[in-house]
Structure 1
Amino acid sequence: MSQFTINLLFVGASFALYFGIAIWARAGSTKEFYVAGGGVPPVMNGMATAADWMSAASFISMAGLIAATGYYGSSFLMGWTGGYVLLAMLLAPYLRKFGKFTVPEFIGDRFYSKTARMVAVACLIVASVTYVIGQMAGAGIAFSRFLEVDKDTGLIIASIVVFFYAVLGGMKGITYTQVAQYCVLIVAYTIPAVFISLELTGNPLPAFGLFGDHAGSGMTLLGKLDQVVTDLGFTAHTADIDNKLNMVLFTLTLMIGTAGLPHVIIRFFTVPKVADARWSAGWALVFIALLYTTAPAVAAMARLNIYTTIYPTGDYTQPISHAERPEWMKNWEVTGLLKYEDKNGDGLIQTYNDKSEAGKALAEQNGWKGNEFTYNRDILVLANPEIAQLPGWVIGLIAAGGLAAALSTAAGLLLAISSSIAHDLVKGSINPDLSDKGELMVARITMAVSIVVATYLGMNPPGFAAQVVALAFGIAAASIFPALMYGIFSKKVNDKGAVFGMLAGLIVTLVYIFMYKGWFFIPGTANLPDNAANWIMGINPLSFGAIGALVNFAVAFGVSSVTEETPQEIQDLVESVRYPKGAGDAVAH
């Protein structure tokens, strides 16, 4: 049986499962469409939340990021998992106590302002749309390799699958589908990692194998990797970083961005009781940890496997020839995500850091004319089983897992967008008398339109698509998180403070990011070189969400201090939300 047939069987079986669940869990009311009827058990909700969170960025990209950045990549692990601690302790139970359907609805009622609700809708849409581009692109990458179609065709297939179970089932269908998708993606991620860990270290647990001994070299695995990459002119995988401020700010941005992402927050509106919201966050951390403790090992082992494949004898003067390259390289060259350029004309593959002093010395010693081998770091996880020459069924499993990760998060994001437009914009402002049946129809139409837009953006990504995940976190951190924190824990912040705070945090963050990426014209600053020498106080644009959040906090507090006091009934509402004794009984009158 060919590898293509195996891939098709695994992917087809997983899609059949998702379709079956969508038909079984079809939403029949707005409550089922928005919050799955409010009756999802905590363990199941934790599993669905983990799938919703562990997107293409986690499944496909994170190991590649850690492989490329080494120690600095731990920011992703600490930031994303730390965000769930914030959710569990500071947000989830209180938002569930409030008993509403969406984040903008909470902000609108708490700050007694339709304007605040609309600003929250705008922030949610900007964050969610930027995030969903990355998910659709991830689905395209997975399809292009494993189903042997071009990226655009892969996007269309992914869109049809999401359309079917998301539009039909809403949150109810998405929840149960995401439980199945979590099972698929976690098995797909860990089985190859176990095989490779056994092969390289003899330890079946990748997290322990990462710190174990490398088979055959007498060194630790990380020591062996550091030796190989430094010999080739790269920075050691375990090397410390100079700019600790950026690392702290980036980690903080990811943490509060996680706690402010609407598609994650709405998962805690789906459980029966307030206590279940906290338990859901706890279970989500357990399920996420299974992948996140494995990712650093996958990153290190995959990177080491690539270099030892090219230099099998360990002698850097004797790389393999392009004609004798392994099958996995041939497969990925077809996708355009892996490239070879014979700069020497000798037919051999030389790969090294030709921009470093060590790399230049190596090139001069061996007569090399420049690095000849490049690959998209997003392929590491997907190519890992092929690199390690694992059985064909493992490759098919990783194909299904990568698609499950991308589709599960895409569905959650699209639901957050459609529910905000249908419930907060149409029902909340344009037509308050809209019936439940009419609102459900609007929600489904909005979901369908959102899928079409997301597919188009996936095919024609804007210039910032490569940074889309970090940008989405920065927006959520700078705009939504402070409003939620003030809404729950402060009686003094009023409607005007919330509106001006969200706008200030959003604008200052977007402007700072845009002026270094060349996406937005600011006289005298447009197209500034995106490097540390030009950043204000050395702050990376992708770390600026935490600064934007501080601006939001400060502006909201300052404006509230010089304007009228929050009405007494809203102060009473905040007081009732702070004591989560039951769900849905803290409603403004």
Structure 2
Amino acid sequence: MDQFTLNLLVVGATFALYIGIAIWARAGSTSEFYAAGRGVHPVTNGMATAADWMSAASFISMAGLIAFGGYATSSYLMGWTGGYVLLALLLAPYLRKFGKFTVPEFIGDRFYSPTARMVAVICLIVASLTYVIGQMTGVGVAFSRFLEVENSTGLFIGAAVVFFYAVLGGMKGVTYTQVAQYCVLITAYTIPAVFISLQLTGNPLPPLGLFGDHLPSGQPLLETLDQVVTDLGFAEYTAQDGSPSSVINMVLFTFSLMIGTAGLPHVIIRFFTVPKVADARWSAGWALVFIALLYLTAPAVGAMARLNLITTIYPGGVAEESIDYEARPDWVKNWELTGLLSFEDKNGDGKIQWYNDSSESFAATAEANGWAGSELTVNRDILVLANPEIAQLPGWVIAIVAAGGLAAALSTAAGLLLAISSAVSHDVIKGTINPNISEKGELLSARVSMAVAIGVATWLGLNPPGFAAQTVALAFGLAAASIFPALMMGIFSKRVNNTGAVAGMLAGLLFTLVYIFLHKGWFFIPGTNMFEDSISGSLLGIQSTAIGSIGALINFGVAIMVSRSTDEPPQEIQDLVESIRVPRGAGSAQAH
């Protein structure tokens, strides 16, 4: 059986499974659509949360970032996992105890203000739409290669599948579909990692293989990788850029990812689906276990993929000649068809040269070799998907990886779109426009909102502002600057009032949005030089992906100052805050 047919069968089987689950778990009420009837088992919810959490950025793009960025990109691992711990400890149990359906509903009730609720809806939609662009980018990448269709066609197919199971099933359908998607994606991620770790190190456990010996060279794998990348003018893989701007950005970016993670609405609402507060804690624990299976493997996948990619181009070692373009492997030809990998013969010798042509220290070596510039362009989003082909693994492994990449993107996209549609139908339509809407009418509006959100996300996915993980990082910054501070102050401060909360959210969101747009060059202000993502066009050298931490500090600061200069919240609101934090039966506090 040829590879295309095998891919089609495996991906088609997983899609049929998702659609079958959606039909079985069809939501028949608003409670089932928004919170799966609050009857999901903690282990099931932990697995669904892990799938919701491990997006296309985690599955497709994170290992690619690690492969090309080395130690410097460990911020993604630290920020995303650390942020989940913050979410599990500081937010999830308290929000579940409050007993509402959506994040804006909590903010509206806690800050006793319809305005606060609407501002929270705006923050949620901005962050979630930015995040879902990254998922749609991942869907397009996977489809364009493995089903041999145009990127845009892949987006439309993925959107249609999400439309079916998310619109039909709501949170109930999405939850059980995400359990299946987790099983698919973790299988797809670990099987090739085990094979490649065995090939390169003889160790079947990739995290241990990363620190083992490289079998062909007989020296530690990371030492071998450091040698081959520096021989091509790239920065040492395991080295940290010690410049002040780099250290500042790494700290701020990690912090931004952490608090952005804790403020992501599509993950928070997963904890509304369990029966009890204690189940929310158990769900968080199980989700950490399921997430760890992938996150402990990702660094090994990135390092080994980078080494395999280089040895493909320089099979005799980097000191020898690179391969002839006409003799390039089939996997290179396959990915060239997608436009995500390209070759330009700059010196006309018919060979593929891949090196750091911006390295001043390597310029003399390149000139001596007759090289006129690096000739290979590799989109980092392809690395995990191409990894089995690079390592020449069996066709069934390649097909499973295709299904896994799509599962990761679709599971998170569904969660994000559900968060958006719930906010629109429950917080805008029922909470503001038509409070007397019937349950049937609210359920219909939720499904229509979901359909519109899918359409908008697909349109935005056709022209993403960056590769998957970079776009997702911007979404984390927006969530960090707007939603997380409001939730933290809502739970742990009785003094912050509605005026302060609204002012803080708007200040954090607007500052972060404006900075990102200026820094990325997405609009022009006469007399400025902020056209691109570079140190010269930034505040104190802070990159756009790290600015969310500053936006969060502004949010906290503005909210506290405004609250201190205005009236205290009503006593019943202060009692409400106290009751959220105190366990049931302790003193006079009661759970809500």
Q: Does TM-score exceed 0.5, indicating one fold? A: yes
The residue correspondences of 1:1-400 to structure 2 (distance < 5 A) are 1-242=1-242, 243-400=246-403
Question: Sequence identity of aligned pairs in percent?
Answer: 75
Q: CA deviation at 1:542?
A: 1.2
Amino acid at match of 1:138: G
Give TM-score, length-normalised by structure 1. 0.97
Does residue 435 of the first structure (1) align with residue 438 of the second (2)? Answer: yes
Tell me how far apart the structure 2 counterparts of residues 232 and 465 of structure 1 sit (CA, whole Å): 26
Tell me how far apart the structure 2 counterparts of residues 182 and 308 of structure 1 sit (CA, whole Å): 32
Amino acid at match of 1:206: P
Does residue 510 of the first structure (1) align with residue 513 of the second (2)? Answer: yes
Q: Quick check: 1:232–1:362 contact (8 Å CA) kept in 2?
A: no
TM-superposition CA deviations, 1:492-525 (whole Å, max 9, x none): 0000000000001111111222111122344533
Tell me how far apart the structure 2 counterparts of residues 172 and 538 of structure 1 sit (CA, whole Å): 45
Amino acid at match of 1:80: W
- Secondary structure in 1 aligned to 2:100? coil
Q: CA deviation at 1:319?
A: 1.0
Distance 1:463 1:525, change over 3 A: farther
Q: CA deviation at 1:460?
A: 3.5
Tell me how far apart the structure 1 counterparts of residues 115 and 301 of structure 2 sit (CA, whole Å): 46
TM-superposition CA deviations, 1:155-212 (whole Å, max 9, x none): 1110110011000000000000000000000000000000000000000000000000
TM-superposition CA deviations, 1:303-327 (whole Å, max 9, x none): 1001111111115341110111111
Distance 1:37 1:580, change over 3 A: farther
Tell me how far apart the structure 2 counterparts of residues 460 and 519 of structure 1 sit (CA, whole Å): 13
Tell me how far apart the structure 2 counterparts of residues 287 and 3 of structure 1 sit (CA, whole Å): 30
Q: Quick check: 2:57–2:468 contact (8 Å CA) kept in 1?
A: no
Distance 1:460 1:367, change over 3 A: closer
User: What residue in structure 2 maps to residue 562 of structure 1?
Assistant: 565
User: What residue in structure 2 maps to residue 533 of structure 1?
Assistant: 536
The range that moved more, 95-104 or 313-322, is 313-322
User: What residue in structure 2 maps to residue 574 of structure 1?
Assistant: 577
Distance 1:393 1:401, change over 3 A: same
Q: Quick check: 1:105–1:117 contact (8 Å CA) kept in 2?
A: yes
Q: Quick check: 2:584–2:591 contact (8 Å CA) kept in 1?
A: no
- Secondary structure in 2 aligned to 1:358? coil
Q: CA deviation at 1:465?
A: 7.8
Q: Quick check: 2:144–2:154 contact (8 Å CA) kept in 1?
A: yes
Q: Quick check: 1:232–1:358 contact (8 Å CA) kept in 2?
A: no
TM-superposition CA deviations, 1:265-287 (whole Å, max 9, x none): 00010011101111111111111
TM-superposition CA deviations, 1:341-381 (whole Å, max 9, x none): 11121111111111102331221221111111111010000
Tell me how far apart the structure 2 counterparts of residues 27 and 391 of structure 1 sit (CA, whole Å): 40
Amino acid at match of 2:439: D
User: What residue in structure 2 maps to residue 482 of structure 1?
Assistant: 485
The range that moved more, 226-235 or 347-356, is 347-356
The range that moved more, 376-385 or 348-357, is 348-357
Does residue 497 of the first structure (1) align with residue 520 of the second (2)? Answer: no
Q: CA deviation at 1:462?
A: 5.3
TM-superposition CA deviations, 1:41-81 (whole Å, max 9, x none): 11111110010010100000000111111101110000000
Q: CA deviation at 1:149?
A: 0.7
TM-superposition CA deviations, 1:248-271 (whole Å, max 9, x none): 110000000000010010001001
Tell me how far apart the structure 2 counterparts of residues 315 and 398 of structure 1 sit (CA, whole Å): 29
Return structure 1 stretches of 4+ with deviation > 4 angstroms.
462-466, 584-587
Amino acid at match of 2:8: L
Amino acid at match of 1:276: D
Q: Quick check: 2:131–2:472 contact (8 Å CA) kept in 1?
A: yes
Amino acid at match of 1:507: L
Q: Quick check: 1:233–1:359 contact (8 Å CA) kept in 2?
A: yes
Tell me how far apart the structure 2 counterparts of residues 463 and 205 of structure 1 sit (CA, whole Å): 32
Distance 1:326 1:175, change over 3 A: same
Tell me how far apart the structure 1 counterparts of residues 182 and 564 of structure 2 sit (CA, whole Å): 46
TM-superposition CA deviations, 1:388-445 (whole Å, max 9, x none): 0000000000000000000000000000000000000000000000111110000001
Q: Quick check: 2:119–2:505 contact (8 Å CA) kept in 1?
A: yes
Amino acid at match of 2:522: W
Tell me how far apart the structure 1 counterparts of residues 141 and 518 of structure 2 sit (CA, whole Å): 29
Q: CA deviation at 1:581?
A: 2.6
Q: Quick check: 1:363–1:369 contact (8 Å CA) kept in 2?
A: yes
Q: Quick check: 1:351–1:371 contact (8 Å CA) kept in 2?
A: yes
Tell me how far apart the structure 2 counterparts of residues 116 and 226 of structure 1 sit (CA, whole Å): 51
Q: CA deviation at 1:485?
A: 0.4
Q: CA deviation at 1:464?
A: 9.3
Tell me how far apart the structure 2 counterparts of residues 581 and 550 of structure 1 sit (CA, whole Å): 32
Q: CA deviation at 1:534?
A: 3.6
- Secondary structure in 1 aligned to 2:362? helix
- Secondary structure in 2 aligned to 1:538? coil
- Secondary structure in 1 aligned to 2:66? helix
Does residue 542 of the first structure (1) align with residue 545 of the second (2)? Answer: yes
Tell me how far apart the structure 2 counterparts of residues 574 and 466 of structure 1 sit (CA, whole Å): 36
- Secondary structure in 2 aligned to 1:537? coil
Q: Quick check: 1:478–1:549 contact (8 Å CA) kept in 2?
A: yes
Q: Quick check: 2:524–2:531 contact (8 Å CA) kept in 1?
A: no
Q: CA deviation at 1:466?
A: 7.6
Distance 1:504 1:514, change over 3 A: same
Q: Quick check: 2:232–2:318 contact (8 Å CA) kept in 1?
A: no
Tell me how far apart the structure 1 counterparts of residues 317 and 574 of structure 2 sit (CA, whole Å): 69
CA RMSD after TM alignment? 1.5
Amino acid at match of 1:538: G
Amino acid at match of 2:444: M
Q: Quick check: 2:61–2:468 contact (8 Å CA) kept in 1?
A: no
Q: Quick check: 1:463–1:519 contact (8 Å CA) kept in 2?
A: no
Q: CA deviation at 1:551?
A: 0.6
